[in-house]
């Protein structure tokens, strides 16, 4: 018995032919399962136009039947369409996965390019050395001055007013409260008299973080005989510092860097690789250099200070006090060359093969303040510091506008980089 399908014309008028179930003379579908365009009804031949008209006549509500061949043909068409749909969806998913893989690959390449741009790979260079001939024309006998700005020029008055006296408290020393100062530690010292004008937890031991580089630059300046020589930077210096997430100035492996630029690189952007390079250039090893740092601290009367490294990286045995940092900041700024370094906002290093246009070094101090925020004093130099344990730190050196007196302010333990800045401005404004 032939299988038939009954379809309601009102639900689906797109039928191919209306059939009379009592007419046994109607035409059969052709070999492809498609009914012929003409047929017969009740023994009479019906034109194709009439068949088409009857095909879409929705007003006649008579059931239609489809042959088994027609049903198979339609099932086959539906199967092919589903198969094509699945194929297209598979291709779409595959393309999306390829795009994601390309994005990941591009991100990895960009990271590797960034790392290599900071650390030029040169496996043949394993031993740091001091080179006497730079890549470019030799620099002059004075420190480089390209792109640098000094807030207040150095004068002999700085030596007269900045006598290295140990900070001392008296009955007039103001004990600051949390309502006034947000940092955990703060101290303002008059460098002419040595009097501590105001303090908060001034007798506590602190972690100096990158304020350590004040001593690094001082000892390197005093122990490297030729500051116009160049030092061969290596990946052995840069890589451990990079992995430790210490701040870097941006020098590359196998780059011959002028010692002056290393001093600026340590002081302004707080570059750890510049600090270690200075230590090796001065004493061949960082340990020997740190020993000289501790000896210099003792000679300055910094009795509460002990250094373990030249970068300020956290160590339980690497500590200092606010008064000791004030002594160090005050003493460093008495030297004209060091005064220029720590008073500079920006400095461009000497061009090299790795950096044909030099590296623009920016002060972390003067990128946070202009120096004239206080109405009574002008900040002319300083050094920032940060580790997770030390939090945000700042040592600044300021000149009082009316009298020219020198003040040093040290703040530490700030929870943001702006806390030490605001606290320093407040101390200069109301306690000088």
| Collapsed DSSP state (helix, strand, coil) of residue 397 | strand
Q: Where are the domains of the chain?
A: 130-430
Q: Where residue 294 falls among pLDDT bands split at 50, 70, 90?
A: very high
pLDDT per residue as tens digits for the range 89-136: 999 999 999 999 989 988 887 776 665 554 433 333 333 333 333 333
Q: Which of 67-76, 179-188, 213-222 has the lowest mean pLDDT?
A: 67-76
pLDDT per residue as tens digits for the range 417-429: 999 999 999 999 9
Whole-model pTM?
0.66
Topology (CATH level 3) of domain 130-430? Beta-lactamase (3.40.710)
Angle 9-13-18 (CA atoms, 0-180°, nearest 5)?
A: 60
> Which has more confidence, 429 or 10?
429
Strand runs (DSSP E) across 162-233, as ranges? 174-175, 185-190, 196-200, 205-206, 230-232
Calculate the alpha carbon distances from 160 to 168, 193, 277 in Å.
19, 11, 33
* Of residues 293, 250, 254, the one with CA closest to residue 273: 250
On whether the CB atoms of residues 13 and 58 are closer than 8 A, the answer is: yes
DSSP 8-class letter at 212: G
Quote the pLDDT of residue 427: 96
Calculate the alpha carbon distances from 247 to 75, 131, 274, 345 in Å.
70, 25, 10, 17
Mean pLDDT for the chain overall: 81
* Of residues 87, 139, 136, 143, the one with CA closest to residue 336: 143
Q: Which residues contact 27 (CB under 8 A, 6 or more apart)?
A: 35, 36, 38, 39, 40
Q: Which of 47-61, 137-151, 256-270 has the lowest mean pLDDT?
A: 137-151
Quote the pLDDT of residue 77: 87
> Which has more confidence, 210 or 154?
210
Starting at the earlier edge strand, list the strands of the sheet with 130-131: 130-131, 230-232, 256-258
């Amino acid at each position: 018995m032939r299988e038939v399908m009954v379809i309601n014309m009102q639900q689906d008028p797109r039928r191919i032919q209306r059939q009379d179930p009592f007419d046994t003379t109607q035409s059969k579908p052709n070999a492809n399962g498609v009914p012929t365009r003409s047929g017969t009804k009740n023994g009479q031949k019906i034109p194709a136009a009439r068949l088409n008209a009857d095909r879409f006549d929705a007003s006649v509500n008579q059931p239609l039947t489809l042959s088994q061949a027609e049903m198979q043909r339609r099932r086959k068409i539906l199967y092919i369409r589903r198969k094509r749909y699945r194929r297209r969806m598979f291709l779409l998913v595959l393309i999306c996965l390829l795009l994601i893989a390309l994005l990941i690959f591009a991100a990895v390449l960009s990271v590797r390019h960034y790392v290599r741009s900071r650390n030029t790979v040169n496996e043949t260079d394993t031993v740091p050395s001091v080179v006497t001939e730079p890549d470019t024309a030799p620099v002059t006998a004075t420190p480089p001055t390209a792109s640098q700005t000094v807030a207040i020029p150095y004068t002999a008055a700085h030596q007269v007013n900045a006598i290295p006296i140990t900070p001392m408290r008296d009955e007039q020393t103001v004990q600051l409260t949390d309502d006034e100062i947000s940092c955990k530690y703060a101290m303002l010292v008059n460098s002419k008299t040595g009097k501590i004008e105001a303090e908060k937890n001034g007798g506590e031991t602190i972690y100096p973080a990158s304020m350590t580089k004040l001593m690094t630059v001082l000892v390197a300046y005093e122990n490297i005989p030729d500051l116009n020589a160049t030092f061969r930077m290596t990946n052995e210096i840069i890589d451990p510092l990079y992995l430790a997430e210490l701040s870097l100035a941006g020098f590359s492996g196998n780059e011959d860097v002028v010692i002056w630029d290393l001093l600026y690189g340590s002081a302004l952007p707080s570059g750890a690789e510049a600090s270690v390079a200075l230590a090796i250039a001065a004493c061949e090893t960082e340990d020997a250099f740190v020993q000289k740092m501790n000896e210099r601290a003792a000679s300055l009367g910094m009795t509460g200070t002990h250094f373990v490294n030249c970068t300020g990286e956290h160590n339980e045995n690497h500590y200092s006090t606010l008064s000791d940092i004030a002594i160090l900041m005050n003493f460093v700024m008495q030297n004209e060359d060091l005064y220029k370094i720590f008073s500079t906002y920006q400095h461009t290093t000497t061009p090299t093969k790795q950096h044909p246009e030099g590296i623009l070094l920016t002060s972390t101090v003067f990128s946070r303040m202009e120096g004239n925020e206080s109405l009574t004093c002008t900040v002319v130099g300083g050094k920032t510091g940060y580790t997770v344990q030390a939090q945000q730190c700042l040592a600044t050196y300021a000149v009082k506008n009316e009298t020219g007196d020198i003040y040093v302010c040290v703040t530490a333990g700030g929870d943001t980089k702006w806390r030490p800045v605001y606290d320093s401005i407040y101390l200069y404004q109301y306690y000088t």
